Chains A and B, each alone.
Chain A
């Protein structure tokens, strides 16, 4: 996906899936896949590039192994749980107060 700047003709937003150089070892051919997000603004630029999967070829059979960012998943789970709890605390507190009164 690419969005181009009309004035300069350069993409200001580009989301690409790329293939890295294939590595052959032990009868396996491993091709890494990654995804990059490029944001080009008039005063600067930002780039985020992360690996997504590897393609493993052996005896003509191709298998796709996804790469999960465990640290990011755990962080999202903690933030999500805390947001849920932060939303639930006022409701629980008001219910407890109602019962007490």
Chain B
């Protein structure tokens, strides 16, 4: 008897089935919580010759929902005996997102195990530009005040 990867996935209570729609908020949140497993932060090892590389990533995920219901003030005291239709309304909505950013590569080779950082220069440059612009704005405002 052989087992397929799908069978193994279904037996894992933490792993949601991709065929099952996230019908309820609980199911949606459970999908977010899957990212809390250690496997979400570390990739599967990639083997190339004598080297094995594992990518370590930072994972951020979040989701939220809200619902509301209300009625117009004149219908708030509406009784079933009255013929006037109730002027009520309601709605709900939700959203979520996830972000994964590689931060280091774990390289296992003949020389040993090394951690090689993965630097996102775009993010650093953006932080630098924003900081420089904020400082320039502060300086110009002070200069204008001085005059």
Residues of A whose CB lies within 8 Å of any CB of B are: 16, 18-21, 23, 25-26, 28, 30, 32, 34, 36, 38, 40-41, 43-51, 54, 56, 65-72, 74-75, 78-79, 81-82, 85-86, 89-90, 93, 97
Contact = CB atoms under 8 A, between A and B. Distances in A.
A63 to B, nearest CB: 8
Interface string B62-92: 1111100000000000000000000000000
B50 interface: yes
B139 to A, nearest CB: 6
Contacts of B64: 41, 43-45
Q: How large is the interface on B (under 10, 10 to 19, 20 to 34, 35 or more residues)?
A: 35 or more
Contacts of B94: 44
B62 A34 contact: no
A86 B134 contact: yes
A74 B127 contact: yes
A73 B90 CA distance: 46
Interface in B45-66: 45, 47, 50, 52, 54, 56-66
B70 to A, nearest CB: 18
Nearest to A74: B124
Contacts of A70: 103, 117-119
B36 A47 contact: yes
B115 interface: yes
Contact of A50 (B47, B103, B117): B103
A51 B146 contact: no
A43 B61 contact: no
Given A23-B108, A25-B45, A26-B108, A81 B131 contact: yes
A97 B118 CA distance: 46
Nearest to B50: A26
Nearest 10 Cβ contacts at the A-B interface: A44-B64, A82-B131, A20-B38, A51-B56, A25-B52, A70-B117, A46-B62, A49-B59, A34-B41, A50-B58
